Amino acid sequence: MSLLIQGGITRLSELNIDADKDWQAMGISNIKELALAMDKGDMLFFDGAGVVLITPGAAGTRLTTQGVGADPTWSL
């Protein structure tokens, strides 16, 4: 039986997700704050310690990586 039927809702848009819950170190962190701070074109990445927001670079730049263990950066 699906969550939608069990929860008494008929559309996915009616699903209420509690992002303020204490997840007791289960790996979910600052999602609500990141989502509220996001704008069009923003992306999330894991920097080794947590999820980090990265904003779009200047026109003509590309998101690149410097290899394993390095954060992505915008470059020409």
Residue numbers of the domain that contains 60: 26-76
Q: Do residues 69 and 53 make contact, with C-beta atoms less than 8 angstroms apart? A: no
Whether residue 19 lies inside any domain: the answer is: no
* Domain tally, the chain: 1
Whether the model pTM is above 0.85: no
Report H helices in the chain: 3-6, 31-37
Does some domain include residue 1? no
| CA-based nearest residue to 19, from 39, 2, 35, 3 | 35
Does residue 56 belong to any structural domain of this protein?
yes
Specify whether the CB–CB gap between 31 and 46 falls below 8 A. no
8 A C-beta contact, residue 51 and residue 29: yes
* 35: in domain: yes
Domain membership flag for residue 38: yes
Q: Which amino acid is at 57?
A: G
Is 6 inside a domain boundary?
no
| pLDDT given at position 1 | 43
Q: What is the pLDDT of residues 20-53, one digit of tens each?
A: 767 666 655 567 777 787 888 888 888 888 788 8
